[in-house]
Amino acid sequence: MIDLYAFATPNSVKVPIALEELGLDYTLHPVNVRKGEQKADAFLALNPGGKVPVLVEDGFVLTESAAILVHLAETTGKLIPTDAQGRGRVFEQLFFHASGLSPAFGQAGFFLRFAAEPQPIAIERFSAEARRTLGLLDAVLADRPFVAGDSFSIADITHFGWLWRRAFPGIDFDQTPHVARWYARIESRPAVQRAIARTEALVPQD
Ligand SMILES: N[C@@H](CCC(=O)N[C@@H](CS)C(=O)NCC(=O)O)C(=O)O
């Protein structure tokens, strides 16, 4: 039995995408990060880090979207290659996402939208870093159909999460045609569409 605690956020959506692609049943529990529910005691007992997503599988609690994707891929033997070089390429993209693209997009969005006082140097620094990391991804996709090689993998899912929410840091695909083509292909996958619909439905309509 799989329970997923999530919201309509870039890191959350990655997990429903993987679960839908793998054909696994799961129950989605909304954690409204706009209302601060991720800092409530009940949720902190699950994840002391106070962030979504959190996966609970038969009592096993796992945080960090990349770790969750790796766990799902390893337990099913899908969405990750079996050969060492293929796996290396997948991990290369997962780490690049977690340490590079994801923080740049997150900080750029924060300083653009939430900072109490305008912080031009921070906006400039993180927006440039967001564009730089997207440019690196574009160069990768000039040579490959998927971010880690010839087949769709958890590496595609991890990048898709933040690119799905690219409006938050004010990023578009105008200068990255390979990313634009890849994104459209991933977005059109039926499992991805089901996952997005379920994730968006977590937001209350009020
Ligand atoms: N490295 C974590 C980051 C998780 C994260 O930043 N989650 C955001 C939503 S995308 C969150 O919970 N934000 C609420 C907060 O920081 O209070 C992962 O990949 O799972």
- The answer to whether residue 115 scores a pLDDT higher than 80 is yes
Please give the distance, rounded to the nearest whole angstrom, from the Cα atom of residue 51 to the centre of ligand 1. Answer: 4
Q: Cis (ω within 30 of 0) for the bond into 118?
A: no
Centroid of ligand 1 to alpha carbon of 38 (angstroms): 9
| 43 confidence band (pLDDT: 50, 70, 90) | very high
Tell me the whole-structure pTM to 2 decimals. Answer: 0.98
Q: What is the pLDDT of residue 90?
A: 98
Amino acid occupying residue 195: A
Tokens 């105008």 -> residue: 174
Strand 2-6, strand 54-57: pairing: antiparallel
Q: What is the count of structural domains for the chain? A: 2
Region at 171 (left for phi over 0; alpha for psi -120 to 50; beta for the rest): beta
How does DSSP assign 15-76, residue by residue?
HHHHHHHHT---EEEE--TTTTGGGSHHHHHH-TT--S-EEEETTEEEESHHHHHHHHHHHH
CATH number of the domain to which 114 belongs: 1.20.1050.10
Whether the CB-CB separation of 39 and 50 falls below 8 Å is answered with yes
Question: Does any domain span residue 134?
Answer: yes
Residues with CB under 6 A from ligand 1: 9-12, 33, 38, 50-53, 64-66
Which residue puts its alpha carbon closest to atom 5 of ligand 1? 51
The preferred substitution site among 11, 105, 203 for testing ligand 1, maximizing ligand atoms within 8 Å of CB, is 11
| 96 and 182 co-located in one domain | yes
Range of the domain at 25: 2-78+192-200
Q: pLDDT at residue 206 above 90?
A: no
Same domain assignment for residues 101 and 162: yes
